[in-house]
Structure 1
Amino acid sequence: MYTLSQLKRAIETPSLLFREMNRLYHTRGNSRFNPAGVDVFAEEWDNLLLLDACRYDMFRDQHALPGRLESRVSRGSHTSEFLKANVADRDLRDTVYVTASPMYYRNEDALNARFHEVVEVWKEGGWHDTYRTVMPETMVRFALDAAERHPDKRLLVHFLQPHYPFVGETGVANFDLDNLAFEWDAAFDDGFGFSDELLRRAFCENLDVVLPHVEELMRALPGRTVVSADHGQMIGERSRPIPSVEYGHPPGVYTEQLTKVPWLVFENGPRKEIRHGASTATSSDPVPGTAEPVAPTTADPSATPRDDSETDDELVRDRLESLGYL
C-alpha cells in the first residue's frame, strides 16, 4: 500500500511514478531481489572487495588493476537489497565483514546473518568528518588488521567509493559537503542543479580515488581476491520498460547500469585454508608486531572516535544522511 504523501509526490513528479511502475515490472510485484543475480558467497574467492555503486562500464574503462576482468549480475540495485539477497538468514561464520557502509548495521536484526565478525568502520573511528564518508585508505588499514587477526577467514571488504559524497577535485569544487541531503530525485524536476556530464565526472573521479587503495589491498592479501560492486548507478540513462530518465540506484529496478557489476579476479599465491567458526585469532588480539589492538586510523586527520553521548540511532542517521540515503 502507498501512503497519501507518496501518492501526492507521484502526482507532482511523474518520473517517480514511472520508476515505481518499472520497479513493479522488474520485481514481478513481489520479488525480494533480482532473481537473475549471482549468490556472491557461492562464488570462489578468499577476499571480496566491494565498491559501492560501481557500474561495470565505468570500472572497465578506468581501472588498471592486475587480474582478469569478468562481469556478474548483482542480486540488488541498492545496498540494502544486495545484503538482503546475499546474507539474510545465513551462517557466514567463515567470513569477516569489514564495512564502511551503515546499511548492515541498520538492517542487522532483519538480516539475521551470522558473520564471524563485523567491523563497522564508519563508527569505529574511521569516519572522515570533513568529507563525511569513510576514505579508502582507512578501509585498507582496517581490512589489513582484520586479515592479520583472522588469516583463516574469508574477507569481505565494503568500500564506499565511488558512491557519493564526491571526494575528487570535481566533486569537492561543485558539491556542497555541508548540504547533507543529496536528493537524486530532485534531478527529475530540474531541482538538482547539476548536469549529467558533471555527475559522471564526479563519479569517475571518486573511482579514481579508490582504485589505488584497492590495488594496495589486493597485493597485500593472500589467495584469490575478487573486486566487484554491490550494485551500479544510473546517471540520466533511460530505464525500462517505461523509458523514463533515471538517477541514483533505486531498489527493485534491474537495468544493466544498476545490476551489471565488475568481477575482477586476482591470484596472489596459494588459496587460504578457510575454517568455519572459531578463528586462529580473536577480535581483541593485537595486530602482530604491536602491543595494542588496532586504533582509529591516522590516515584521515579528522577521523574521531565515536562520542559515547551519541546514541546508535543518531549516529546511523547522521551517517546515512551524509551518504544521501535520508
Structure 2
Amino acid sequence: MSLQDWAENAKDRFDRDGLATGVYGAVQELWQGGLGVLGRHVYNYGTHVYEEDWDVLLVLDTCRPDVLAEVADEYEFLADYDPDADVLNSIGSRSPEWIGKTFDPESVAGPELEDTAYVSANPHTRDVPDPDQLALVDELWKYGWSYDHGTVRPETVVDRAIDVHRSGDHDRLVVHFMQPHSPYRSLVEEHPDWFSLSVGMDNPEDTPEFVLWERLRTGRVSREELWEAYRDNLRWVLDSLEILLDNMDADNVVITSDHGEAFGEWWYYGHSSTAPIPVLKRVPWATTTATDSGTYEPEITPESDENPTPDEVNERLRTLGYM
C-alpha cells in the first residue's frame, strides 16, 4: 500500500467512523504497513521447510501453535504435540510470500523440487516461481471451489491428496489446506453478511477479511468469539486429516502452517503484510505417520476445462481477503 492509498483510506475512515476512531484505525493501518516494509526490505527470518526432514507436508493455512495445542488432545495423531518445542519460524507471514520462497528454484536444489508434488487449495499457486520445476502443481482451488463456503472444503483437499499420493510418481507431497483461515464456517452461518462480497462495513469495496478484522479492532466483535470460530475451523480440517492419515503411506508426516494469524497481538490484525513478527512467523511443526488402510476411495478428479475466469479468480481472492 502506498502512502497515497493509506491517505485515501484514512479519509474514508474519518468519514465513516468519526475522527477519534478513524485516527486510531489509520495509525494502526500505517503501523501494519510499516511492519510489512520492514519485512520486505530490512529484516526477516525463518527456516526453509526443505532444510527439515519430511515425506508429506500438511500445510494448515494460518494455523498458530497455541490454537493447535488447544485441540491436540482430541486427535490421536497430535497426542504428543508440544507448542513450545514442536514449532518452526516460517519464511513467510502470508501465503504468497511463503509459496514464492518455498518453491524458489534459486533457494531449493533442483532434484528436491522435481521430486515434490504440490496440491493446493490456496489461490496463490500463481506465486510458484516455476511450476515446471515441480513434479506436479495441482491447482485444486480452480476446480474444487465451494461457493457455499467461499473456500475449498478440507474434505475436497483430502480427496485429491489421497489420489495424488497413491498414483503420483514423486518422493514428497505438499498438501495446502485453506483452513483454519477464514471464512469461519460457524460465523458464515450466523453472520453471512460479514462474508458477503457485495456488503462491506458501510463500504462495498472492503473484502470480507477486512470487514472481519475491522470488527475486532473496533470492538464490534470480541476476540473470544473470533477465536472460537477460528478454533472451530481448525477442527474442521483436523477431522479431515484423520481420513487422510488413514489412507496414505508415509513414515514422516509433518503438520505445519505457512504463517500465523494476529488477533491484536503486536497491535496487528490478520496477516495482511510481510510483517516479521512472532505471531505471524511462529508455526507448528507436528510430526506423525500415515498408513494406507485402503478404506477410502477419492471421488474428485481435475477438470481440464474448469479454469476460472479472471473475474472469478479475483472474486475468490477477495473472499479470502487477498485483494
TM-score normalised by the chain length of structure 1:
0.77
Asked if the contact 1:147/1:155 (under 8 Å) is kept, the reply is: yes
Asked if the contact 1:81/1:251 (under 8 Å) is kept, the reply is: no
Question: Given the alignment of the two structures, is residue 118 of structure 1 paired with residue 137 of structure 2, yes or no?
Answer: yes
Which position in structure 1 is the counterpart of 2:237? 210
Which position in structure 1 is the counterpart of 2:31? 18
Question: Given the alignment of the two structures, is residue 138 of structure 1 paired with residue 156 of structure 2, yes or no?
Answer: yes
**Counterpart AA for 2:280:** L
Alignment of 1:156-305 (within 5 A): 156-167=174-185, 169-176=186-193, 179-180=196-197, 181-182=207-208, 183=210, 184=212, 186-187=214-215, 190=218, 193-223=220-250, 224-237=252-265, 239=266, 245-268=267-290, 295-296=300-301
How well do the aligned residues superpose, as a CA RMSD in angstroms?
2.9
Distance 1:132 1:147 in 2: 26
Deviation string for 1:11-42 (max 9, x for gaps)?
A: 75111112233334455x345xx32x111022
Deviation string for 1:302-324 (max 9, x for gaps)?
A: xx99666x52x223212111212
What is the aligned counterpart of 1:154 among 152, 172, 176?
172
Distance 2:51 2:182 in 1: 29
Which position in structure 1 is the counterpart of 2:100? 84
Displacement of 1:78 in angstroms is 0.3
Which position in structure 1 is the counterpart of 2:77? 66
Gaps of 5+ in 2: 12-22, 198-206
Displacement of 1:174 in angstroms is 2.7
**Counterpart AA for 2:156:** T
Question: Given the alignment of the two structures, is residue 102 of structure 1 paired with residue 123 of structure 2, yes or no?
Answer: yes
Paired residue secondary structure (2:279): helix
> CA 1:30 to 1:188, structure 2 compared with 1: closer, same or farther past 3 Å?
farther
> CA 1:195 to 1:215, structure 2 compared with 1: closer, same or farther past 3 Å?
same
Displacement of 1:177 in angstroms is 6.5
Name the % identity.
29
Deviation string for 1:137-178 (max 9, x for gaps)?
A: 1111000110111154311000000001111x3442134366
Asked if the contact 1:51/1:162 (under 8 Å) is kept, the reply is: yes
Compare the two structures and name the one with the higher helix fraction.
2
Displacement of 1:88 in angstroms is 1.8
Compare the two structures and name the one with the higher strand fraction.
1
Between 12-21 and 177-186, the greater mean CA deviation after superposition = 177-186
Distance 1:268 1:188 in 2: 39
Which position in structure 2 is the counterpart of 1:39? 48
